[in-house]
Amino acid sequence: MIPRPRPERFRLRRTMMFLSAQKPGLIKDAYIYGCDSIMLDLEDAVAENQKDAARFSLYHALTTVDYGDTEVIVRINGLDTPHWREDVRVCVAGGADGIRIAKCESAGDVRTVERAVLEAEREFGKEEGRTLLMAALESPKGILNAYEICCASERMFGVAISGGDLRKSLQTSPQRDGIDMLASRGQVILAARAAGIQCFDTVFTDLDDQEGFEAEVRQNKAMGFDGKSLINPKQIRYVHQIFAPTEKEVRQAEKIISAYREQSAAGVGVFTVDGKMIDIAFIPGAERTLKLAKACGMYEGDLI
């Protein structure tokens, strides 16, 4: 069995690539494309009568493939199906880093899954609290309850919008400027930030429309999302490119952190960098920038 380190609740998650757990040829080495997380799907990508086969292939992949630094999340079937409990057991037994709760509508849904995860961790002798959770918000009700969902568990690292069903419920369709999802995206970002967890935008499904994809990624970044769900490896590069900090931002963050360390060692709390007032409130942002820069190959220093 390939040992995986304890999952990090907060880490870089610019790109989460969906792959059907039913396809061993795809999931055996999906990490080679360089996305931050892979999302092995037991839900919609797997036919109703193939759920069990998919779980076997998932378990085999989780326990025999070395995914390295790539985070491995599993999308389980909805709580209204007969499948989700067994899905949770296989995720925990295989040592997945996290579980994505499909069609989540309330804090209660998160807690239901959390209980099942804890039971499974005990059943399979895994470290309690190891398995992370995220929720997919796919209905107006889920979007409206975003804040309570984000706060529902210590295991929660993020929420994602799932646009397919949501647009139908909202009686809209994909628009070039993203106006169709504006209210939902805004609500989810507010909730995630208020709860202190991450948020991810929905997939862009038209692989031939590179221009539309790029516009949406730029908007995601501008709105404050941490990353995006993807359906094809060719989408990874652009997301990483857009989510990368600028050279100027990296240098600035570097200056802020080193100045802060010097000044606080000398007992100074507020100081200026390039004429701007800096205090401790700037540090998490600067650290995030450097982390991102490191992942993008733009920073090789040791401040982070």
Partner 1 sequence: MKNAVGRDIPEYLLTGGKKVYQGKNYMDGKYVTKASPTTRIYEKPQESKIVSGLAEALRLCGARSGMTFSFHHHLRDGDHVVNMVMKAAIEELGLDGLTIAATSLGAAHDPVAEYIEQGKVVGIQTSGIRGRIGEVISAGKLKTPAVIRSHGGRPRAIEAGEVHIDIAFIAAPTSDCMGNCRGIGGKSDCGSMGYAMTDAKYADRVVVVTDCLVDFPNMPASIEAIDVDAVVVVDSIGDPKKIASSAARISQNPRDLMMAENVAKVIASTPNFKDGFSFQTGVGGPSLAANLFLEKFMDERGIKMGWSIGGICGPMVEMLKKGKVGKIIDVQDFDLDAVRSINTTPNHFEMSASQYADPANKGAFVNKLDFVVLAALEIDTDFNVNVLTGSDGVLRGAPGGHPDTAAGSKCCVIVTPLIRGRMATVCERVVTVTTPGDCVDVLVTDYGIAVNPLRPDLIECLDKAGIKHVPIEELKEKAYSIVGRPDELQWEDQVVAVLEARDGTILDVVRKIKPYTIEQ
Stretch that binds partner 1, among 29-37, 95-103, 177-185, 215-223 (CB under 8 A): 29-37
Burial class (CB in 10 A: 0-12, 13-18, 19+), 300: exposed
Smallest separation, CB 69 to partner 1 (Å): 13
d(CA 35, CA 240): 9
297 binds partner 1 (CB under 8 A): yes
Q: Report in angstroms how near the CB of residue 2 gets to partner 1 at its nearest.
A: 11
Establish if 108 lies at the interface with partner 1 (CB under 8 A): no
Q: Which of 9, 24, 33, 147 binds partner 1 (CB under 8 A)?
A: 33
- Residue 232 within binding range of partner 1, rule CB under 8 A: yes
Could you tell me the two tokens for 56?
A: 């076997």
Interaction between residue 29 and partner 1 (CB under 8 A): yes
Of residues 29 and 262, the one with the C-beta less far from partner 1? 29
Site stretch for partner 1 (CB under 8 A), options 28-36, 55-63, 125-133, 193-201: 28-36
Smallest gap from residue 33 Cβ to partner 1 (A): 6
Neighbouring residues of 141: CB distance < 8 A, sequence distance ≥ 6: 105, 106
Binding-residue total with partner 1 (CB under 8 A)? 8
Our CB check for partner 1 shows the closer of 129 and 233 to be 233
84-92, 160-168, 214-222, 231-239 -> range binding partner 1 (CB under 8 A): 231-239
For partner 1, the binding residue among 234, 268, 272, 279 (CB under 8 A) is: 234
Decide the pairing of beta strands 156-161 and 198-201: parallel
Cβ closest to partner 1, residue 45 vs residue 120: 45
Please state the closest distance from residue 29 (CB atom) to partner 1, in A.
8
CA–CA distance, 254 with 262 (Å, rounded to integer): 12
- Using CA atoms, how far apart are residues 244 and 298, in angstroms rounded to an integer? 9
Give the other-Cβ count within 10 Å of 282's Cβ. Answer: 18
Least separation in angstroms between residue 34's CB and partner 1 is 8
Which listed range, 26-34, 113-121, 159-167, 255-263, lies at the site for partner 1 (CB under 8 A)? 26-34
Spatial CB neighbours of 148, under 8 Å, sequence gap ≥ 6: 106, 107
32 is a contact residue toward partner 1 (CB under 8 A): yes
- Using CB under 8 A as the binding rule, whether residue 172 contacts partner 1 is answered as no
Decide whether 282 or 299 has the Cβ nearer to partner 1: 299
- Nearest distance in Å: CB 207, partner 1: 9
Looking at beta carbons only, is 32 or 47 nearer to partner 1? Answer: 32
Residues that bind partner 1 (CB under 8 A): 29, 32-33, 232-234, 237, 297
